[in-house]
Structure 1
């Protein structure tokens, strides 16, 4: 059975005050104090010492917070949106077997130095230092050109640092910062998300190291949603563009077929309108290869009358023989009615 031991020193002015240990399962809640994250409360003794111990933490690494709260002993009435101006805190990575010590620094600063049996514990402090350097670079020349150049440089630097740590929790902390909608980095993040396979690689590392965690599922859901957001207004780069093109092609083809068939129907109708009902009957019988005598017998008229009708029919259709009539009707898919 593992057992953790987190202890440290803070300024003597905090003697008798409450100090809290919290677990940060939701990486989007790493910047503020949330009451539902607290797992243990302690008291700073008269010498400024505090200590947390037990065996109730996860056996895997998690992000934890230790914070002093000067707002209220009950952590209720004087907090606003999870913030307290009198709070001091530190984020770190640990698990149930770790021993951590938070000594005061040579400048008498508390909760800013970590000595730990876990080599990953101080990663978040290192990331915070990188973020400060990044902020300095972006602020030095606040032009659009400088912003774009530095964002590209710092995205790569932070991603590379995260991968080298071999701790996806550190990378997730970096991701939370770069993808924060309130930061200048968000627009660049959306562009980078579409073009860079880093984010999918991080999803795989989280799945391998933390397969059943809520934050792994949360991360996968977020990058899926953000990819849709990044593609909004740019359908040419996604599957929707191909779907739309296919639908348009089918529509155009359908219209072409429709108009061609309509045109054929129009031509056939024009032929039909040129002929009298009697001429249509004669044309129908001609197409059945009936002779003039057979046509005259079937219509109860003389052969000379049939010849007169045929001559008129030829003139109207601008043809000179039965063969031409057959070709003309077949071409226009026209069958005279009885």
Structure 2
């Protein structure tokens, strides 16, 4: 009797140990078994730019038991959180075309080697599940928030969607991978590029936070590539604006200098310094051909005074010789 008791305890502990090695376990509900295959596929997901689908890489598969049970070992996963998908495919391409729009034959979730997820029996193919992965629990909250936008109508307001979704992602989500998924939703609605150009500091700060985290760089590679392209566009735009501003400033300066010079010339032309009565008399005698000595004798002034008057005349009329004065008369 004691031996049987020991065997029972051993088998019980062995069963716990074996169950504990399953990262994923649970049941699949199939209404028409003849239309579906019996293999469940496990894929790792990569987020990609501008697409409502996901890039999947199949990493394992397992057959369903008679009662629809399946499981995947923990060793298939890494110590870091990743997005995964379990999927059951129709038995043929013809059945796939018939069933693709009617039944959701997959489930997305976040998991790591440290966590477990269990699918309970339900009315859907992959029904409700329980998990101890913190990131996936937060993702479920994000899904509940996004549910009101699932059936978009003609009244859909992209601006309001952007404000509400970004606000929720920024203020309510704490886990970087889930934030990244939320931002991916903006990209699916073709709103990410517009918002990143308007708020580059926020997205560059978020990218910096991603790079300093333990997330696999491939997880956020699409966002990094998109932001590199957008920031380069911003730099190019600022450079073009700078060239335009510098060119416009230079043109304004040139026009201003030209205006000042023209104003000075106009001022000189319109407001010449008038000659005194004696200078006018000297000027008229020069024009009549008189010499300096003759001018001095005629005006009863000294020769040096005549020369002083002539110097003042040349200065006021902006000339330098008798010949200029004869041409200017």
TM-score by length of 1: 0.60
Corresponding position: 1:175 with 2:176:
no
Match of 2:39 in 1: 18
Corresponding position: 1:206 with 2:226:
no
Gaps of 5+ in 1: 271-301, 309-319, 331-338
2:169/2:183 contact within 8 Å kept: no
* Count of paired positions: 263
Q: Secondary structure at the match of 1:17?
A: strand
TM-score by length of 2: 0.61
1:64/1:94 contact within 8 Å kept: yes
1:102/1:110 contact within 8 Å kept: no
Instruction: Encode CA deviations 1:175-204: one digit per residue, 9 max, x unaligned.
Output: 111222xx3x728x7247514854344323
Q: Secondary structure at the match of 2:65?
A: coil
Question: How far 1:96 sits from its partner (Å)?
Answer: 2.3
Which structure has the greater CA radius of gyration? 2
Question: How far 1:21 sits from its partner (Å)?
Answer: 0.8
Question: How far 1:24 sits from its partner (Å)?
Answer: 1.1
Q: How far apart, CA to CA, are the structure 2 residues paired with 1:58 and 1:44?
A: 24
Matches within 5 A, 1:188-267: 190-191=194-195, 194-195=198-199, 198-210=202-214, 213-226=217-230, 240-257=240-257
1:27/1:173 contact within 8 Å kept: no
TM-align CA RMSD = 4.6
Match of 1:5 in 2: 23
Compare 87-96 and 242-251 and name the one that shifted more: 242-251
1:210/1:216 contact within 8 Å kept: no
Q: Secondary structure at the match of 2:90?
A: coil
1:65/1:92 contact within 8 Å kept: yes
Q: How far apart, CA to CA, are the structure 1 residues paired with 2:317 and 2:120?
A: 103
Change in CA separation of 1:17 and 1:31 when aligned onto 2, cut-off 3 Å: farther
Change in CA separation of 1:57 and 1:113 when aligned onto 2, cut-off 3 Å: same
Match of 1:133 in 2: 148
Question: How far 1:22 sits from its partner (Å)?
Answer: 0.9
Corresponding position: 1:49 with 2:69:
yes
The structure with higher relative contact order (CA 8 Å, sep 6+) is 2
Question: How far 1:47 sits from its partner (Å)?
Answer: 1.1
Corresponding position: 1:95 with 2:133:
no
Corresponding position: 1:114 with 2:97:
no
Question: How far 1:128 sits from its partner (Å)?
Answer: 2.1
Match of 1:282 in 2: none
Match of 2:311 in 1: 322
Change in CA separation of 1:229 and 1:113 when aligned onto 2, cut-off 3 Å: farther
Q: How far apart, CA to CA, are the structure 2 residues paired with 1:114 and 1:124?
A: 13
Instruction: Encode CA deviations 1:221-254: one digit per residue, 9 max, x unaligned.
Output: 323544677999xx7xx56534421221023324
